[in-house]
Structure formats: C-alpha cells, structure tokens
Structure 1
Amino acid sequence: MAGASSDARLAARRFVQLCVEVLNGFRPAAHLRRMALPAEAADVVAKGLAGARRAAELRRSSRPRSRPPRRHAPVAVLRLRLCEPRPGAVEAAVTLATGERTWAMAFRMELHQQTWATTALLII
C-alpha cells in the first residue's frame, strides 16, 4: 500500500525532527529512546549517536584552520518518503543535507499500544 495514514505521517515527521535535532547537536542522542520500541531503543540511540558524531566530524573537517570558527550549515531535511506496507507499520526514507554533503536516513516505525515506536534506524 503506497503512502501512509495521517497518524503514521505525523509520527514519522516527529521522529525525523528529533533525529535532525540530534544530528545538529541540539539534543542528546538519548532522547531518541522515548520514540523507540524498548527492545530496539539501545540500537536506535547508538545509531543516532553515530550519526551525530559523523555530523560533528564533518563540521570540524570542513572548517579551514586559518579561519576562526563560524556557524556551519545545519543538517536539513530535503525529502521524506513514506510507505505503510501494512496497517500499523510505516517505513521511511529521508534525504538530508548539510553544506555540500547529502545523507540518507531510513527507519521503520510500528504501532504498539496506540503509540508509534521506532524499531529500526539507519543513517548513511
């Protein structure tokens, strides 16, 4: 089934916003835990933390040493694509950009006890 329900879209957008805040260093990766399925929370947080470290490393390496520190381009969402393969599950592909770099993020959310929870996250 193409597309996604309005509840799934809202949950996915909230999760993407939270991930972007983590990647930009505005929130700790541990905040991803509250939107993850308990059994998968540690993996989701670890992947969010790895993405945040990579973003910070890219910001440091893109700055010329001869110039003083300046505000860097934040990670931004270029596109969000959703698919609800079955009721109660949504899969997303996100295109992110920071400066000259383009990133990809994919995740899956499932409906558990009337709450959408992330079960898988991949940031490349």
Structure 2
Amino acid sequence: MRLCVEVFNGYRPPAHLRRLARPADAAEVVAQGLVGARRIAELRRPRRPGDRRPKHTTPVAVRRVYLCEPRSGAVEVAVALVTGERTWAMALRLELHQDTWCATTLRLI
C-alpha cells in the first residue's frame, strides 16, 4: 500500500509497482498505478486558465484499511485514501506465489 500511495503522490514512477506483481500481471498493475497517479495529478492542476496551483498540495494518505481473505493464499484489500477534501478508494488483490505475496489487481476508484 505504501508503494502505491508513493506512486499516486508522484514520489515514485508507476514502474516501481512492477516488483510487487507477478510477471503475468505486472503490466496491468503498473498501468493502473499510472492511471491513479494521473487522476490525482489532474486534481492538483488549475481548473481554469489563470488559476494558480496551491503552493502546497495535500498528499494522498491512507485513512482506513480493510482486509478480506476469500481463500487461502489470497487477500483482497480495500483502502480508503484521502487527499485534501477528496476521498478515494483503492482495491488491491494479493496472492501468495512461491512464498511471496504478489499483486494481481490494483484499482483506484
């Protein structure tokens, strides 16, 4: 989760998410990280020509974490994120592969 939040805040490139995922799922996880980072960056852009960007933007922060284990070796995580006055949800699925937890799905909602 921390790595995902760092990507959304622009502190890390989305490609860093690749190491969290199985090779078969890595491209989709990275793509969803990029989508999330772009959506949050869009919020921080001026809305109208001539508007100024805030000098300090509130970073995305984890508000709550919910875990569910639908089957042995799989965990689904729902995370409530907040930035300024905006609330987001992130869904993440992790599966155990060769004694390592790997992301198979990532969505910013």
Shorter-normalised TM range: over 0.9
Q: Give the helix-richer structure, 1 or 2.
A: 1
Q: Give the strand-richer structure, 1 or 2.
A: 2
Q: Deviations over 1:19-56 (max 9, x none)?
A: 00000000000000000111010000000001001111
> Measured at CA, do residues 117 and 93 of structure 1 come closer, stay the same or move farther in structure 2, by a change above 3 Å?
same
Partner of 2:65, secondary structure, is strand
Higher relative contact order (CA 8 A, sep 6+): 1
Check if 1:108 corresponds to 2:62: no
**Alignment partner, residue 76 of structure 2:** 91
Identity %: 67
Deviation at residue 86 of structure 1 after TM alignment: 1.6
**Contact 1:90–1:108 at 8 Å: present in 2 too?**
yes
> Measured at CA, do residues 53 and 123 of structure 1 come closer, stay the same or move farther in structure 2, by a change above 3 Å?
same
Trace 1:1-124 onto structure 2 (pairs within 5 A): 16-61=1-46, 65-67=50-52, 69-124=54-109
Deviation at residue 63 of structure 1 after TM alignment: 9.1
Q: Distance in 2 between matches of 1:21 and 1:36?
A: 16
**Contact 1:22–1:28 at 8 Å: present in 2 too?**
yes
Normalized against structure 1, the TM-score is what?
0.82
Partner of 1:61, secondary structure, is coil
Matched residue count: 109
Normalized against structure 2, the TM-score is what?
0.92
> Measured at CA, do residues 83 and 65 of structure 1 come closer, stay the same or move farther in structure 2, by a change above 3 Å?
same
Q: Which amino acid aligns with 1:107?
A: L
